[in-house]
Amino acid sequence: MKFLLSNLFNCVIIVALISCAPRSRFIDVNKPDNASTDVKVDVSKSAVIPRDGSTPIAGSNALDNPSRVVTFSNIGQKIDVKNGETVNFVYDGIDPESTYIIYESTDDGYTLELAVRDQPVAIYFTKMCQNFIVANPSLTIVNVPDNLKFEQIVWTPRSDGTWEVRVGAVERGCKSPALNHLNKLRNKNYEKNLPK
């Protein structure tokens, strides 16, 4: 009996220590050691931010009548664009071939940030269905708060070589134009050529 009480007391102490230990507010998903960091992304010369708040459409050509022209002059530069805006990009003193634009969804548009293609980036989800557009999953550190830790993190390739990453599946009400476009590309010929 004394042995049983002693072990029970030790278990209570261990559980108390574990439950009192500080916890990280975010869950970090780091790249595997063997992940590819080759990044093939089209240079963005324009972007259309749909009025419905869906994923931006990056263009490799400038638009004829944009609502804004944005000049990127340094790495890490951020700009906010609203839903319904069209934007042309100018690169001043920056090699556009070595950069890409990270898109972070906001309540009324997107925050755009100029980043280096082969450098790791960290993204921070704050709400359900939020999405980011990044260059490469293997160079992206995903941070998820505790209130979203049981939601799916979904990666969808985009036609310009970038990736959409969002918290929340379409079954949970999240929209993904990148997934809609991808499903159109999965025709019978594509399916037939899949390795078995």
| pLDDT exceeds cutoff 70 at 27 | no
Q: What is the average pLDDT across 96-123?
A: 92
For residue 53, is it within any domain?
A: yes
Q: What is the DSSP string of 71-87?
A: EE-STT-EEEEETT-EE
Q: Which two tokens stand for residue 189?
A: 């010929």
Confidence grade of residue 57 (pLDDT, cut at 50, 70, 90): confident
Query: What is the rounded average pLDDT for all residues in the chain?
Result: 81
For residue 16, is it within any domain?
A: no
Instruction: Please calculate the CA angle 116-102-126 and round it to the nearest 5 degrees.
Output: 130
For residue 7, is it within any domain?
A: no
For residue 183, is it within any domain?
A: yes
Sheet containing 26-29, strands listed edge to edge, beginning at the edge strand earlier in sequence: 26-29, 140-145, 121-124
For residue 140, is it within any domain?
A: yes
Total domains in the chain come to 1
For residue 81, is it within any domain?
A: yes
pLDDT the model gives residue 79: 95
Burial class (CB in 10 A: 0-12, 13-18, 19+), 28: exposed
Check residues 190 and 174 and name the one with the higher pLDDT: 174
| pLDDT exceeds cutoff 70 at 23 | no
For residue 97, is it within any domain?
A: yes
Max Cα-Cα span within the chain: 84
What span, in angstroms and rounded, lies between the C-alpha atoms of 45 and 161? Answer: 14
Residue 150 C-beta-side C-alpha neighbours within 13 Å: 1
Confidence (pTM): 0.69
In the chain, count H helices and then E strands: 3, 13
Quote the domain boundaries for residue 148: 40-192
pLDDT the model gives residue 39: 58
For residue 111, is it within any domain?
A: yes
Check residues 195 and 78 and name the one with the higher pLDDT: 78
Burial class (CB in 10 A: 0-12, 13-18, 19+), 112: buried
pLDDT the model gives residue 25: 39
Which helix (H) or strand (E) element contains residue 99? strand 99-106
